């Protein structure tokens, strides 16, 4: 059996138009998750430390980072503040 890495697998799956459309529809959620992980790593803090700073349970932060949650804007603001940042939300024209 040939081993493949995730990027190769994903690229193969993205050739299917239905899969690609569904994947692209989830992109904003993936972007939020990645932004949270990147910001926390950049701040050099653990989920536990972010939990202490925000009052949000570490297990809930973990769920968010794994994509198993749907945070409210209020929660995102609390996370941003706990990271010493502000939350910025943008609407962009489609295709840019």
- For the chain, what are the domain ranges? 6-82
- Give residue 3's pLDDT: 58
Q: Is the pLDDT of residue 1 over 80?
A: no
**Distance (Å, rounded) from C-alpha 79 to C-alpha 55?**
9
Which CATH number is associated with domain 6-82?
A: 1.10.260.40
- Give residue 40's pLDDT: 96
- Give residue 42's pLDDT: 94
Q: What is the mean pLDDT of residues 44-56?
A: 97
Q: Is the pLDDT of residue 62 over 60?
A: yes
Closest CA to 43 of 80, 77, 69: 80
Mean residue pLDDT across the chain: 92
């Amino acid at each position: 059996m040939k081993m493949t890495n995730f990027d190769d697998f994903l690229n193969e799956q993205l050739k299917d138009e239905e899969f690609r459309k569904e994947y692209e529809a989830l992109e904003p959620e993936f972007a939020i998750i990645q932004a949270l992980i990147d910001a926390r790593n950049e701040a050099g803090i653990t989920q536990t430390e972010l939990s202490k700073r925000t009052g949000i349970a570490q297990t809930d932060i973990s769920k968010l980072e794994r994509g198993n949650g749907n945070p409210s804007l209020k929660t995102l603001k609390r996370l941003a503040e706990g990271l010493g940042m502000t939350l910025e939300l943008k609407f962009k024209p489609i295709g840019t």
